[in-house]
């Protein structure tokens, strides 16, 4: 997206898929969030950042659980995004719940001790992507970062927005899709539900003045009986930005962080969806025939069970048209890869 908007880009990514390598002017594969201790990985990253001499550093997911590392990055480089204290605040479940209550925003009950009655989830402070979320059972493993959030029925949705000065621009709302058998993020579908959009405006207008967010952020919520129940705030760039790639979102983020006027953000006319394909068991990606329309293409080698393999994207005038395009792409992949390989892939397309 940054390249489309005319920026020179140094990409730092754990997976460093083929698309990222081709789009970026230079790239650095950073495995900190996968298999390296963060302090070691940070020391290794710094010389690469220094050599690029960035005018701005934009941060995606992964740092919320490592506030000290983010604070060091924020202090040493021109990070355009939320302050370390803002991230600590909004990722503190007790602080966020209290703020929601003070602003009249609905959100499920939370607890920092194991609940004895009711239906609850266990979550980990600062984690992201949903992979850390589990239904609470007495025998579930817990540690110092564990907290509990009460189950709220309804449709999981995301709210993508840009916060600037004392106001905000709503970029869009979307249904969230989850990896089969878990609550890990598996994609999103753009929504044009007028009632949901109106509720998102009401939530943002009530809550954002108390959060201190700047730039592009997102909120995870549950949409139930015409009411939004806030689950989490994601104080950084979001994967759901893929649904709005035709908008100048990178420039909007930079302008918001610099307290400048935002570029025009015209809502997209078409519906859209992107879905992440996960490996059910280890897959040799080097043996796969990868069509041009497949996104986040693996460079090659083995993709371990439970890891994302790639993703697909579709647009259409109706939800049925979008789903049919996704199913057609799934059928094409079955033809290219064969039944045996596809049996070991979670497509998240129905």
Per-residue pLDDT band at 121 (split at 50, 70, 90): confident
> Which residues on adjacent β-strands are paired with residue 122?
134, 148
Express as a percent the part of the chain with pLDDT over 70.
93
Name the domain count of the chain. Answer: 3
Q: Return left, alpha or beta for 341; rule: phi > 0 is left, psi -120 to 50 is alpha, else beta.
A: alpha
Give the per-residue pLDDT at 350: 83
Residue 316 lies in a domain: yes
Residue 110 lies in a domain: yes
Q: Do 114 and 63 reside in the same domain of the chain?
A: no
Residue 263 lies in a domain: no
Q: Please, what is the average pLDDT of the chain?
A: 91
Of 286, 292, 168, 291, nearest in space to 218 by CA: 168
Q: Return left, alpha or beta for 209; rule: phi > 0 is left, psi -120 to 50 is alpha, else beta.
A: alpha
Domain span holding position 171: 87-257
Answer yes or no: is pLDDT of 17 > 70: yes
Is the distance from CB of 345 to CB of 307 less than 8 angstroms? no
Q: Do 243 and 290 reside in the same domain of the chain?
A: no
Q: Do 49 and 169 reside in the same domain of the chain?
A: no
Mean local confidence (pLDDT), 51-68: 92
Answer yes or no: is pLDDT of 141 > 70: no
Per-residue pLDDT band at 123 (split at 50, 70, 90): confident
Residue 33 lies in a domain: yes
Mean local confidence (pLDDT), 3-15: 94
Tens of pLDDT, residue by residue over 24-43, are: 999 999 875 545 567 777 88
Q: Do 40 and 116 reside in the same domain of the chain?
A: no
Give the per-residue pLDDT at 126: 61
> What does the alpha-carbon distance between residue 197 and residue 172 come to, in Å, rounded to a whole number?
8
Residue 76 lies in a domain: yes
Residue 94 lies in a domain: yes
- Sign of the torsion formed by the C-alpha atoms of 178, 184, 189 and 191: positive
Q: Do 77 and 91 reside in the same domain of the chain?
A: no
Q: Do 295 and 339 reside in the same domain of the chain?
A: yes
Among the candidates 233, 257, 281, a domain finishes at 257
Q: Do 177 and 301 reside in the same domain of the chain?
A: no
Q: Do 106 and 181 reside in the same domain of the chain?
A: yes
Compare 41 and 59 and report the one with higher pLDDT: 59
Tens of pLDDT, residue by residue over 321-331, are: 999 999 999 99
Q: Do 289 and 323 reside in the same domain of the chain?
A: yes
Domain at 245, CATH number: 3.30.470.20
CB count within 10 Å of CB 290 equals 15
Q: Is 165 helix (H, G, I), strand (E, B) or coil?
A: coil
- Tokens 């939320």, residue? 82
Q: Do 206 and 252 reside in the same domain of the chain?
A: yes
Give the per-residue pLDDT at 37: 64
Tens of pLDDT, residue by residue over 223-233, are: 999 999 999 99
Among the candidates 232, 257, 282, a domain finishes at 257
Residue 332 lies in a domain: yes
Q: Do 341 and 212 reside in the same domain of the chain?
A: no
Answer yes or no: is pLDDT of 194 > 70: yes
Among the candidates 86, 103, 130, a domain finishes at 86
Tens of pLDDT, residue by residue over 247-306, are: 999 999 999 999 999 998 998 999 999 999 999 999 999 999 999 999 999 998 899 998
Residue 43 lies in a domain: yes
Give the per-residue pLDDT at 34: 47
């Amino acid at each position: 997206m940054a390249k489309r908007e005319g920026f020179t880009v140094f990409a730092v990514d754990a997976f460093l898929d083929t698309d990222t390598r081709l789009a970026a002017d230079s790239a650095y594969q950073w495995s900190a969030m996968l298999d390296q201790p963060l302090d070691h990985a940070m020391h290794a990253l710094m010389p690469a950042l220094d050599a690029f001499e960035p005018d701005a550093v934009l941060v995606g997911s992964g740092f919320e659980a490592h506030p000290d590392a983010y604070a060091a990055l924020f202090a040493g480089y021109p990070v355009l995004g939320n302050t370390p204290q803002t991230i600590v605040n909004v990722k503190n479940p007790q602080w966020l719940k209290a703020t929601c209550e003070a602003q009249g925003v609905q959100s499920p009950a939370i607890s920092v001790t194991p609940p004895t009655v009711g239906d609850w989830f266990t979550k980990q402070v600062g984690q992201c992507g949903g992979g850390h979320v589990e239904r609470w059972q007495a025998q579930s493993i817990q540690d110092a970062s564990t907290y509990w959030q009460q189950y709220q029925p309804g449709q999981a949705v995301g709210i993508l927005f840009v916060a600037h000065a004392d106001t905000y621009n709503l970029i869009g709302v979307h249904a969230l899709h989850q990896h089969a058998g878990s609550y890990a993020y598996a994609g999103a579908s753009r929504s044009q539900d007028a009632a949901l959009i109106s509720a998102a405006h009401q939530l943002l207008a009530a809550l954002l003045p108390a959060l201190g967010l700047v730039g592009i952020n997102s909120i995870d919520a549950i949409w139930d009986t015409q009411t939004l129940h806030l689950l989490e705030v994601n104080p950084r760039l979001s994967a759901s930005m893929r649904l709005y790639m035709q908008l100048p979102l990178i420039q909007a983020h930079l302008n918001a962080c610099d307290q400048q006027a935002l570029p025009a953000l015209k809502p997209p006319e078409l519906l859209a969806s992107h879905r992440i394909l996960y490996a059910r068991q280890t897959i040799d990606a080097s043996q796969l025939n990868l069509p041009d329309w497949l996104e986040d293409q693996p460079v090659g080698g083995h993709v371990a069970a439970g890891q994302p393999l790639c993703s697909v994207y579709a647009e259409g005038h109706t939800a049925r048209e979008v789903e049919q395009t996704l199913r057609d792409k799934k059928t094409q992949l079955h033809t290219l890869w064969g039944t045996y390989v596809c049996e070991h892939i979670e497509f998240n397309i129905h």
